Amino acid sequence: MNHSLKIGFIFGLTSGIITTLGLIVGLDAGTHSRLAVIGGVLTIAIADAFSDALGIHILEESESKHVQKEIWESTFSTFFAKFIFASTFLIPLLLFALSSAIIISVAWGFLLLGILSFFIAREQKVKPWKVIGEHLAIAAAVIVLTHYVGDLISKTFG
């Protein structure tokens, strides 16, 4: 995979997992509404995918190291990776009860992030468990924080 596609894919995948999991867990804790969670995931898949793609596009332009083709490859690969991976979280939400879908989504996100982390560690020739542990710890922190924020909003305004 060339550098431009790789940048977009890794960024889009990571952002798609972390942002979507945080949103799912936070909205569930705050609303306990399947409709709100599904709407949130669709919003992430569309609006945040465009936002991240534009962010990568502008970043790549600002480096003044890339030709237009490379910039657009990073832009499109970011959008499609974020859109596709964020959208996969809709599957458990549509097939299972909300509480089960949340657990399945977290497991799915951790599996994807673990696999990505393993390949990154292997490419860097470092111990995979250290990289995987670091990345999963950050994801877990996002999940815990967004859960408590959702709870706080629910108790304060619910």
**b/e for 119-128, b at 16 or more Cβ within 10 A?**
ebbeeeeeee
Dist. CA 118–CA 30, nearest whole Å: 33
Per residue of the chain (158 residues), what is the pLDDT tens digit? Answer: 899 999 999 999 999 999 999 999 999 999 999 999 999 999 999 999 999 999 999 999 999 999 999 999 999 999 999 999 999 999 999 999 999 999 999 999 999 999 999 999 999 999 999 999 999 999 999 999 999 999 999 999 98
Tokens linked to 145: 């924080």
